[in-house]
Amino acid sequence: MFQPVNGKFEMPSLPYGMADLAPVLSQETMLFHFGKHLQTYVNNLNAALPGSEFEGKSLEEIVKISDGGVFNNAGQILNHAMYFLQFKTPVMGNAPTGEIAKLIDRDFISCENFQNEFQAKGAGLFGSGWVWLSLTDSGKLVITQEGNAQNPITKGLKPLLTFDVWEHAYYIDYRNRRPDYLKSLWSIVNWDEVNKRLG
Ligand code: MN
Protein backbone atom coordinates (compact mmCIF):
# COMPACT_ATOMS: atom_id res chain seq x y z
CA MET A 1 0.00 0.00 0.00
CA PHE A 2 1.24 3.47 -0.89
CA GLN A 3 0.25 5.88 1.90
CA PRO A 4 0.54 9.67 1.96
CA VAL A 5 3.04 11.21 4.39
CA ASN A 6 1.77 14.39 6.09
CA GLY A 7 -1.01 14.58 3.49
CA LYS A 8 1.26 14.20 0.47
CA PHE A 9 2.44 11.36 -1.72
CA GLU A 10 6.21 11.12 -2.14
CA MET A 11 8.37 9.88 -5.00
CA PRO A 12 9.22 6.17 -4.60
CA SER A 13 12.68 5.56 -3.18
CA LEU A 14 14.48 3.39 -5.76
CA PRO A 15 17.00 0.68 -4.80
CA TYR A 16 19.27 1.65 -7.76
CA GLY A 17 20.75 4.79 -9.31
CA MET A 18 19.53 6.64 -12.41
CA ALA A 19 22.40 5.27 -14.54
CA ASP A 20 22.22 1.67 -13.23
CA LEU A 21 19.63 0.29 -15.66
CA ALA A 22 21.67 1.22 -18.76
CA PRO A 23 21.86 0.17 -21.52
CA VAL A 24 18.31 -1.22 -21.16
CA LEU A 25 17.02 2.15 -19.89
CA SER A 26 19.52 5.00 -20.22
CA GLN A 27 20.19 7.58 -17.56
CA GLU A 28 18.54 10.15 -19.85
CA THR A 29 15.35 8.06 -20.03
CA MET A 30 15.36 7.65 -16.25
CA LEU A 31 15.88 11.38 -15.66
CA PHE A 32 12.92 12.21 -17.90
CA HIS A 33 10.61 9.28 -17.18
CA PHE A 34 11.15 8.91 -13.43
CA GLY A 35 12.47 12.40 -12.69
CA LYS A 36 10.02 14.48 -14.73
CA HIS A 37 6.96 12.47 -15.83
CA LEU A 38 6.37 10.72 -12.50
CA GLN A 39 7.23 13.86 -10.50
CA THR A 40 4.54 15.75 -12.45
CA TYR A 41 1.88 13.14 -11.62
CA VAL A 42 2.89 13.31 -7.93
CA ASN A 43 2.74 17.12 -7.91
CA ASN A 44 -0.65 17.16 -9.68
CA LEU A 45 -2.24 14.65 -7.28
CA ASN A 46 -0.81 16.40 -4.19
CA ALA A 47 -2.27 19.71 -5.43
CA ALA A 48 -5.72 18.10 -5.80
CA LEU A 49 -5.85 16.38 -2.37
CA PRO A 50 -6.35 19.17 0.23
CA GLY A 51 -10.01 19.42 1.20
CA SER A 52 -11.07 16.62 -1.15
CA GLU A 53 -12.73 13.30 -0.28
CA PHE A 54 -9.40 11.62 -1.16
CA GLU A 55 -7.36 13.27 1.60
CA GLY A 56 -5.65 10.69 3.84
CA LYS A 57 -6.56 7.70 1.65
CA SER A 58 -4.02 5.26 0.24
CA LEU A 59 -3.06 5.52 -3.42
CA GLU A 60 -4.75 2.18 -4.17
CA GLU A 61 -8.00 3.37 -2.55
CA ILE A 62 -7.93 6.61 -4.56
CA VAL A 63 -7.37 4.66 -7.81
CA LYS A 64 -10.38 2.45 -6.99
CA ILE A 65 -12.85 5.26 -6.21
CA SER A 66 -11.79 8.28 -8.32
CA ASP A 67 -12.29 9.36 -11.91
CA GLY A 68 -11.18 12.23 -14.16
CA GLY A 69 -7.97 14.09 -13.35
CA VAL A 70 -7.55 12.61 -9.87
CA PHE A 71 -7.81 9.09 -11.27
CA ASN A 72 -5.36 9.84 -14.10
CA ASN A 73 -2.69 11.20 -11.76
CA ALA A 74 -3.22 8.61 -8.98
CA GLY A 75 -3.27 5.76 -11.51
CA GLN A 76 -0.09 6.96 -13.13
CA ILE A 77 1.68 7.27 -9.75
CA LEU A 78 0.68 3.71 -8.80
CA ASN A 79 1.60 2.32 -12.23
CA HIS A 80 4.97 4.07 -12.34
CA ALA A 81 5.83 3.19 -8.73
CA MET A 82 5.19 -0.49 -9.49
CA TYR A 83 7.13 -0.22 -12.78
CA PHE A 84 10.26 1.45 -11.38
CA LEU A 85 10.32 -0.56 -8.13
CA GLN A 86 10.34 -3.90 -10.04
CA PHE A 87 13.75 -3.26 -11.72
CA LYS A 88 17.40 -3.99 -10.89
CA THR A 89 20.72 -3.71 -12.74
CA PRO A 90 20.79 -5.77 -16.00
CA VAL A 91 21.51 -9.51 -15.78
CA MET A 92 22.00 -11.69 -18.89
CA GLY A 93 19.53 -14.59 -19.02
CA ASN A 94 17.55 -13.17 -16.10
CA ALA A 95 14.81 -15.79 -15.49
CA PRO A 96 11.84 -15.89 -13.08
CA THR A 97 12.60 -17.47 -9.69
CA GLY A 98 10.68 -18.93 -6.75
CA GLU A 99 6.89 -19.09 -6.62
CA ILE A 100 6.28 -16.86 -9.65
CA ALA A 101 8.43 -19.18 -11.81
CA LYS A 102 6.22 -22.13 -10.80
CA LEU A 103 3.00 -20.23 -11.52
CA ILE A 104 4.29 -19.05 -14.92
CA ASP A 105 5.15 -22.63 -15.91
CA ARG A 106 1.75 -23.83 -14.69
CA ASP A 107 -0.33 -21.16 -16.45
CA PHE A 108 1.77 -20.37 -19.55
CA ILE A 109 3.54 -23.73 -20.15
CA SER A 110 6.99 -22.06 -20.22
CA CYS A 111 8.73 -18.80 -19.38
CA GLU A 112 9.45 -18.24 -23.08
CA ASN A 113 5.77 -18.67 -23.92
CA PHE A 114 4.79 -16.24 -21.16
CA GLN A 115 7.32 -13.62 -22.27
CA ASN A 116 6.23 -13.90 -25.91
CA GLU A 117 2.58 -13.42 -24.96
CA PHE A 118 3.40 -10.51 -22.63
CA GLN A 119 5.50 -8.80 -25.31
CA ALA A 120 2.82 -9.36 -27.99
CA LYS A 121 0.13 -7.81 -25.76
CA GLY A 122 2.43 -4.86 -25.00
CA ALA A 123 3.34 -4.34 -28.65
CA GLY A 124 -0.30 -4.72 -29.72
CA LEU A 125 -1.78 -2.18 -27.31
CA PHE A 126 -3.04 0.69 -29.47
CA GLY A 127 -2.10 4.13 -28.13
CA SER A 128 -0.83 4.72 -24.58
CA GLY A 129 -1.08 2.27 -21.72
CA TRP A 130 0.39 -0.64 -19.81
CA VAL A 131 0.66 -4.41 -20.14
CA TRP A 132 0.23 -6.25 -16.83
CA LEU A 133 0.71 -9.65 -15.26
CA SER A 134 -1.82 -10.11 -12.45
CA LEU A 135 -3.32 -12.76 -10.21
CA THR A 136 -7.07 -13.47 -10.27
CA ASP A 137 -9.22 -14.19 -7.18
CA SER A 138 -8.90 -17.89 -7.93
CA GLY A 139 -5.09 -17.69 -8.07
CA LYS A 140 -4.58 -17.84 -11.84
CA LEU A 141 -2.09 -15.62 -13.68
CA VAL A 142 -3.51 -13.36 -16.41
CA ILE A 143 -1.98 -10.84 -18.83
CA THR A 144 -4.11 -7.74 -19.49
CA GLN A 145 -3.77 -4.59 -21.55
CA GLU A 146 -4.75 -1.40 -19.70
CA GLY A 147 -5.20 1.92 -21.50
CA ASN A 148 -3.78 5.26 -20.32
CA ALA A 149 -3.66 5.32 -16.48
CA GLN A 150 -5.64 2.13 -15.83
CA ASN A 151 -4.48 -0.43 -13.26
CA PRO A 152 -5.78 -4.03 -12.85
CA ILE A 153 -6.84 -3.35 -9.23
CA THR A 154 -9.95 -1.63 -10.66
CA LYS A 155 -10.95 -5.07 -12.05
CA GLY A 156 -10.33 -6.86 -8.75
CA LEU A 157 -7.00 -8.32 -9.89
CA LYS A 158 -3.72 -8.35 -7.91
CA PRO A 159 -1.07 -6.66 -10.12
CA LEU A 160 2.39 -8.29 -10.10
CA LEU A 161 4.45 -6.95 -13.03
CA THR A 162 4.00 -4.20 -15.61
CA PHE A 163 5.70 -2.76 -18.70
CA ASP A 164 4.89 0.85 -19.59
CA VAL A 165 4.09 1.23 -23.29
CA TRP A 166 3.52 5.00 -23.35
CA GLU A 167 5.91 6.44 -25.95
CA HIS A 168 7.69 8.49 -23.24
CA ALA A 169 8.89 5.17 -21.75
CA TYR A 170 10.98 4.15 -24.78
CA TYR A 171 11.32 6.91 -27.36
CA ILE A 172 14.68 8.27 -26.15
CA ASP A 173 16.37 4.83 -26.23
CA TYR A 174 14.39 2.83 -28.79
CA ARG A 175 12.64 5.50 -30.91
CA ASN A 176 9.61 3.80 -32.54
CA ARG A 177 10.78 0.24 -31.76
CA ARG A 178 8.37 -0.67 -28.95
CA PRO A 179 8.87 -4.46 -29.41
CA ASP A 180 12.66 -4.09 -28.93
CA TYR A 181 12.11 -2.08 -25.74
CA LEU A 182 9.71 -4.71 -24.36
CA LYS A 183 12.12 -7.56 -25.13
CA SER A 184 15.02 -5.72 -23.45
CA LEU A 185 13.16 -5.13 -20.19
CA TRP A 186 13.32 -8.81 -19.15
CA SER A 187 17.00 -8.44 -18.22
CA ILE A 188 16.19 -5.83 -15.53
CA VAL A 189 13.12 -7.44 -13.91
CA ASN A 190 13.70 -8.06 -10.21
CA TRP A 191 11.80 -11.33 -9.74
CA ASP A 192 12.27 -11.13 -5.95
CA GLU A 193 10.08 -8.01 -6.01
CA VAL A 194 7.47 -9.79 -8.16
CA ASN A 195 7.45 -12.70 -5.66
CA LYS A 196 6.91 -10.19 -2.81
CA ARG A 197 3.83 -8.86 -4.61
CA LEU A 198 2.39 -12.39 -4.75
CA GLY A 199 2.15 -12.09 -0.96
MN1 MN B 1 5.44 6.26 -18.11
d(CA 148, CA 76): 8
Is 62 in the same domain as 138? no
Separation of CA 84 and ligand 1 centre (Å) = 10
Separation of CA 46 and ligand 1 centre (Å) = 18
- Cα–Cα separations (whole angstroms), residue 184 to 72, 106, 112, 125, 178: 27, 24, 14, 18, 10
Query: In terms of Cα–Cα distance, which of 43, 183, 178, 179 is closest to 112?
Result: 183
How confident is the model at residue 92, as a pLDDT?
A: 94
pLDDT at 44 over 90: yes
Separation of CA 83 and ligand 1 centre (Å) = 9
Is 47 in the same domain as 104? no
How confident is the model at residue 13, as a pLDDT?
A: 97
pLDDT at 101 over 90: yes
Domain hosting 104: range is: 98-198
d(CA 197, CA 134): 10
- Residue-wise pLDDT for 105-140, tens only, equals 999 999 999 999 999 999 999 999 999 999 999 999
- Residue-wise pLDDT for 140-197, tens only, equals 999 999 999 999 999 999 999 999 999 999 999 999 999 999 999 999 999 999 999 9
pLDDT classification of 51: cutoffs 50, 70, 90: very high
Does 10 fall in a domain?
A: no
Separation of CA 106 and ligand 1 centre (Å) = 31
3-state secondary structure the chain: CCCCECCECCCCCCCCCCCCCCCCCCHHHHHHHHHHHHHHHHHHHHHHCCCCCCCCCCHHHHHHHCCHHHHHHHHHHHHHHHHHHCECCCCCCCCCCHHHHHHHHHHHCCHHHHHHHHHHHHHCCCCCEEEEEEECCCCCEEEEEEECCCCHHHHCCEEEEEEECCHHHCHHHHCCCHHHHHHHHHHHECHHHHHHHHC
- Mean pLDDT across the chain: 98
How confident is the model at residue 116, as a pLDDT?
A: 98
pTM of the predicted model, to two decimals?
A: 0.98
How confident is the model at residue 3, as a pLDDT?
A: 97
Separation of CA 149 and ligand 1 centre (Å) = 9
Report the CATH number at residue 147.
3.55.40.20
Mean pLDDT of 56-81: 98
Is 139 in the same domain as 70? no
* Number of domains comprising the chain: 2
pLDDT at 1 over 90: no
Separation of CA 7 and ligand 1 centre (Å) = 24
Is 62 in the same domain as 120? no
Report the CATH number at residue 69.
1.10.287.990
How confident is the model at residue 40, as a pLDDT?
A: 98
Mean pLDDT of 57-83: 98
Mean pLDDT of 57-77: 98
